[in-house]
Amino acid sequence: MNKSIFMMLSVLFMVFVGFQFAEPAAAVKVVDHGTKYGWDGQDDTWAKLTWKTYQYNNNFLKIYRTFYTKNPKTKKYVLNSHESFTLAKVTKNSIKITYRSDAGIGPVMNIFYDKTKLTAAQYYWRVFKHEITVI
């Protein structure tokens, strides 16, 4: 009897500790989304850009962006490419920007660093959003 109580208490304790270390799912929230239409001079057609930004905390954001081009025959927008950006505050004075894309021949991934004292959330609203919402 004592062994079963001890075993049950230790399992409950491990579950409790596991919940303490787990990232809460409710912490992720959509902070920005939108759609823009414009002329794509590169493809010489109309284009549609959609984006959705998820904020995990003040120092980590993920942005998903999708490009569509208009088919002149069907007058419908066709998927062109997907892109994702990750903004992560890595030091007190720098942000890491990870870029992934499936446009072109194959998948691409680039990593950039920008010097700033802003948090990732502040950097997104003051600097980054204006760059990624241009067609």
pLDDT, mean over the chain: 87
Q: Which of 88, 82, 81, 87 is nearest to 64 (CA)?
A: 82
DSSP H helices in the chain? 2-21, 120-123, 129-132
What does pTM read for this prediction?
0.76
- Give pLDDT tens digits for 55-104: 999 999 999 999 999 998 999 999 999 999 999 999 999 999 999 998 87
Question: Could you tell me if 48 and 70 are in contact, meaning their C-beta atoms sit under 8 angstroms apart?
Answer: yes
Residue with tokens 């954001």: 61
- Give pLDDT tens digits for 91-121: 999 999 999 998 877 789 999 999 999 999 9
Q: Which two tokens stand for residue 20?
A: 């303490």
- Boundaries of every domain in the chain: 27-132
